Structures are given as structure tokens and as C-alpha cells.
A and B are shown apart, each in its own frame.
Chain A
Amino acid sequence: MTGARSSTPGGVPVPIDMAPTTAAAGVTAVRFRSVHKSFGAVRVLRGIDLEVPTGQRLAIIGPSGSGKTTILRLAMTLERPDSGTIEIEGELLGQKRVGDRLVPDDERHLRQVRGKIGMVFQHFNLFPHMTALQNVMLGPVNALGLTRAEARTRGLELLHVVGLEDKADVHPRKLSGGQQQRVAIARALAMRPRIMLFDEVTSALDPELVGEVLTVIRNLAHETAMTMLIVTHEMKFAADISDRVIFMDEGVIVEDAPSSVLFTNPAHERTRAFLRAVLER
């Protein structure tokens, strides 16, 4: 990192070149083509077609069980689609084409494609047997092949970005939920993903800790050009941060619109009912 920095109003300085964004604007970062997924008898996704251009901030909203999280889990290869394909920057994810058939991808190529994606979970999933810094260094050392010294520098820098450089040597159980989630964000960023997936990252937090996590993500959105897919129940946050929103219900995309339109003037009755319900809470 060359250390070019800028500050956001009231925010933490973010190294500008944190996420490489060499792909030209207009390239499709994530593309789902008629993706279906069932768990047992439950049809979670019923034919999802979705195209997310590079650099877009896409918010995915909808009632629980509507399939929003499954979209992220499929993009992270934590689940496999029953049918349909997923492409990351034009490359098939988890599959490869042999003749006119699709077969499971080989591990090497799968990891290469997956390396473009980072994910932050609702329940943080930090490694409890490691300090905050060790959590952040793990991926760069073991998957990216950085030296420990390089990974350490990057790790401390990212802990600084999330405002936790003084907690580098602390184990997760000694951190608050908000702090744990910020470490988890730093850990995901350390892999230099081009696409970040945020899966209900504030849902497990006490209300007073939600703000610090959202601030970190807002700063990232301002300071980097990363593509972001954000599943959230925080409607104000979604409206602030996203360029585009999709509203999902029962495994289908019901409405897909720029966030300025969807939140103020939703076209579908189901979207209106959902927004009314969550905003009145």
C-alpha cells in the first residue's frame, strides 16, 4: 500500500488504493442466470436473474425467508445452486464448461474466482483462538502468500481503518459485538476483494452498537470503488448507501429499482406493504 489517504467527514481515514479496481466500469461484477435453490422441500430461490455492474452498491431487502441471504451465500460458494449459473466478472463460479456441459470446477480455478469476493457475516464468525490481528493476517498469509511482516502491516492498517488498532492483540471474546464485527470487516478487506458481501451485519448487534459498524461500511463505500451487495434490515442505511435496491419475496425479485425510487415511490404493492411494516416499527 502506498498510503495515499483521505478522510471522510467524521470518519476514519481509508487507504484509497485498498481495493484494486482495475476492471473497467460497466463490466458485470456478479451475474446470476435463472438460479434456483431449494433446501429440502423449501424453494428458497425460484429463478433469480441478477446483474450487478462493477462498483454498484446493491441493497437487497425483503422479509425473512425471502432468499436474500441465500443469494450472498451462493455468490460466496457456501451453497451450490440447484440449477442456473453464477458468474463473477464474466467467469463461471464453481462450475466450468466442458463441451456443452457444466461440471464442478476444479479447486484451483474455484479459489481463483472466489478470491475476488469477500463476505461479512451476521454472527461475525471470527476465529476465537486468535487475536484480532491474527484474524486479519490469516487469509493474506495462508491464501495470498504474503510474508508475515507484509500481512502484519496490512492488518494493522486495516484495524486502523475500522478504528481498532489498539485492539490488535485482543481476543474476540474480549471485544463488544460492534468491535467484533469491525474486526470481521477488516479481515474480509485484508483479502482485497473486489466484491464485498454484507449479510445482515448489524442484525446480531445491540442497538447502540449498530452505528459504529454502519459508519465503517459507509466510509468504505465513500473511499473505495468496491462492488457491494448488502443484505440489511436497516432501511435508512440501505437508502443512504445503495445505488440500487432489490426487494425480494418468496424466492423471487419482486422489484428492482434505483434506491431513490424504490424507497420513495415503490411500484409494487408487496414492496409498499413491506416498507410500511418495517418503517412503522
Chain B
Amino acid sequence: MTFDVDYAIRILPTLLNATVVTFQATIWGMTFAVVGGLVLAILRMSRFRPVSATAGFYIEFIRSTPLLTQLFFLFYILPLYGLALSAFVTGVLALGLHYSSYTAEVYRAGITGVPRGQWEAATTLNLGPLQTWRLIILPQAIPPVIPALGNYLVSMFKDTPLLATITVLELLGTALTEAGLSFRYLEPITIVGAIFLALSLPSALLVRGLERRFATR
């Protein structure tokens, strides 16, 4: 079997279009994970035991089960309870939930890295808990963990093909549909790999750049 360049060029626009869906899933999933992870991290560090224990259990539970299983669970089980979301929304939800348990631990590392004296200084200035988080702790906790968050962004991007399994026509799903019509797998799958490579490599370089930038602080 030889690589049919003409065929590859013919399906390229369709695949590039599907890349937009992959992008959207990544952006929405990451937005979810960046916000959700922060909320989880703060709950995890609550001084009220039931809250921190519940958050801790949730984080460990999500981290200890495969993303694919979570994806199937949301896609096949939720509708049984009357919550029928579109495949795309379900996919974004799964990516966001899964990755927020990882970003939560990243944030936690950042928050723990803020010296205790900063909390105490906030107390001497009579700041409330919300003000302390917003003005003192998070502005110091987040910059050092931005590279780690970036790594998870790249990671999530590379996990989006899993959404093909729940009928989302993202890049891989579209390629498989094409292949199903033509019975040629070499070209579509190769192009998928090439597109991922072309997007992941610069992102990884960007993350390394961020690492260097924040390391010097």
C-alpha cells in the first residue's frame, strides 16, 4: 500500500475543519479544568474537615479511574437519569472533570508554596478569607504553576481523540469516517498524527518558555 498524495490532499480540508472541533473541545475542557481545579484545590484545603475530605476523595477517585471509563459513564449512564447532553458537551464535561482533579493538585502545590507569613500578614491587615485568597495567596500561588497547567493543556489536547468513541466528530472521528468510506486508513490516520504533531510541538515549546520565564522569579 502506497501513500496516495492526491487522496490525502482531497481529504485535508475536511480534516482541518475537524481540527477546529478538537480545538474547541480542548479550550472548553481546559477552561473547565482551570476554574474547576482551583475551586477543588481551595475546598481541599478547607479547615472544615468534611469539606476537605470530600474534595480529597473526589480528586483521588477521578485520578484513579480512566478517562475513557468516565467518558462512557457520562455518555451512556447520565441519559438514563434524564440528563441527555450532546456528545460534544459530554466530552467537554468529561475532559474538564478529569483534568480538574489534576489541576487541583497543581494549584495545591502552588498554594502550599506561599509562606505562612503571608497568611499571617493578611490577618494583621484584617482581611477576610475571600480577600486573602484573591489579593494575597492566589497572585503568588498561580504564576509558579502556570507551566504545569500548560503541560496538562497539551496533555488534554492529545486526549481529545477519545471523544471519537462517543461519536464526536473531532479530528480522529472524522478521519475514521473518511477511512470508512474509502477503506484507506494510511492517509487519514497519518494526517491526524501530523496535525497533532504540528500543534503539540509548538505548544510544548511554549510551555518550556513559560517554565523559563517563571523560574527566574
| A residues apposed to B, CB below 8 Å | 76-78, 107, 111, 114-115, 117-119, 121, 123, 125-129, 138-139, 142-143, 187-188, 191
Since A125-B120, A127-B140, A138-B125 are in contact, a sample of 17 more A-B pairs with Cβ atoms closer than 8 Å, ordered by chain A residue number, is: A76-B123, A78-B123, A107-B128, A111-B126, A114-B126, A115-B126, A121-B121, A126-B121, A128-B140, A129-B140, A139-B126, A142-B131, A187-B121, A187-B125, A188-B124, A191-B124, A191-B125
| CB of B78 within 8 Å of the partner chain | no
| CB of B17 within 8 Å of the partner chain | no
Q: Which of B117-144 contact A (CB under 8 A)?
A: 117-118, 120-121, 123-128, 131, 135-136, 139-140
- Known: A76-B123, A115-B126, A187-B125. Contact between A142 and B135, CB under 8 A? yes
Q: Which of B81-137 contact A (CB under 8 A)?
A: 115, 117-118, 120-121, 123-128, 131, 135-136
A118 touches B128 (CB 8 A): no
A–B complex contacts, Cβ < 8 Å, 11 sampled: A76-B120, A77-B123, A78-B120, A125-B121, A127-B118, A127-B121, A127-B140, A129-B140, A143-B126, A191-B124, A191-B125
Secondary structure at the B interface, as helix, strand, loop or mixed, is helix
Measured in the bound complex, the distance between the Cα atoms of B128 and A115 in whole Å is 12
| B residues apposed to A, CB below 8 Å | 115, 117-118, 120-121, 123-128, 131, 135-136, 139-140
Secondary structure at the A interface, as helix, strand, loop or mixed, is loop
> Which residues of chain A come closer than 8 Å to B123, judged between CB atoms?
76-78, 114
- Known: A111-B126, A119-B124. Contact between A138 and B135, CB under 8 A? yes
Measured in the bound complex, the distance between the Cα atoms of B115 and A26 in whole Å is 39
Determine how close the nearest CB of chain A comes to the CB of B169; give it in whole angstroms.
44
> Which residues of chain B come closer than 8 Å to A123, judged between CB atoms?
117
